[in-house]
Amino acid sequence: MTSEPEPLRIVIADDQASVREGLVLLLGLLPGIEVVASAADGQQAIDLVAQHRPDAILLDLSMPVIDGIETTRRLTGLHPEVAIVVLTTYADDTSILAALSAGARSYLTKDADRIEIASTLRSAVAGLSVLDPAVRAALLAAATRSTPPPEVPRPLPEVLPDGLTRREAEILAMMARGMTNPSIAAELYLSTHTIKSHINRIFAKTGSADRSAAIRYALDQHLA
């Protein structure tokens, strides 16, 4: 009589409780999947992988304490046998390449359904790399487009409006140039959590309800 194969043991790491709990529930209901732990930040993810030694971890990039890229890098060094599958909202080539360079085996966006996520986890544990269509398209576009000359940022004025610090004005200008949080973090050698904190203060000081309003403010104030 053939014995049942061992279930795939995974850790889920996402800072949004609703997303994290939803993934735990949805994936835990699938046959052959056992969610052994869930983490709300990068340090928890590292600690839980060390404790449970799962087959794989499903990891968001935008994480507090230690961001997803650095978490990936540390897990790859400490536990190379654990397959890392990124599940995130970011599909820009900078984030994708940073995650893959850090050691992620596969990269999905949060449009993926639970069957696709489970299949990708199994493939990653088997040593295969899976990139969803949006990710492949972003990498192909990055590989085929001509490289534009580097953009020279506008110098910041000596006196900044509305109590903005020079770091906040710098981040606001980068937002206005279309940079994502992970790419800003990489450029400034800061965590994505730190960038999010700066952006929240920018929103408060400039009276901006969202990123688009903050960018309009930057353009109106000649910061970008």
Domain 8-143 -> CATH class:
alpha beta
Q: What are 108-164's pLDDT values in tens digits? A: 999 899 999 999 999 999 999 999 888 888 887 777 665 555 555 667 788 888 999
The CATH fold of domain 161-220: Arc Repressor Mutant, subunit A (1.10.10)
Task: Output the six-digit token pair for 28.
Answer: 């835990």
Across the beta sheet with 83-88, what order do the strands follow?
33-39, 8-13, 56-59, 83-88, 106-109
Are the C-beta atoms of 89 and 109 separated by less than 8 Å?
Answer: yes
Q: What is the largest CA-CA distance in the chain?
A: 78
Angle between helices 166-176 and 211-220 (to 10 degrees): 110
Are the C-beta atoms of 96 and 138 separated by less than 8 Å?
Answer: yes
pTM: 0.65
Beta-ladder partners of 103? none
Domain ranges of the chain: 8-143, 161-220
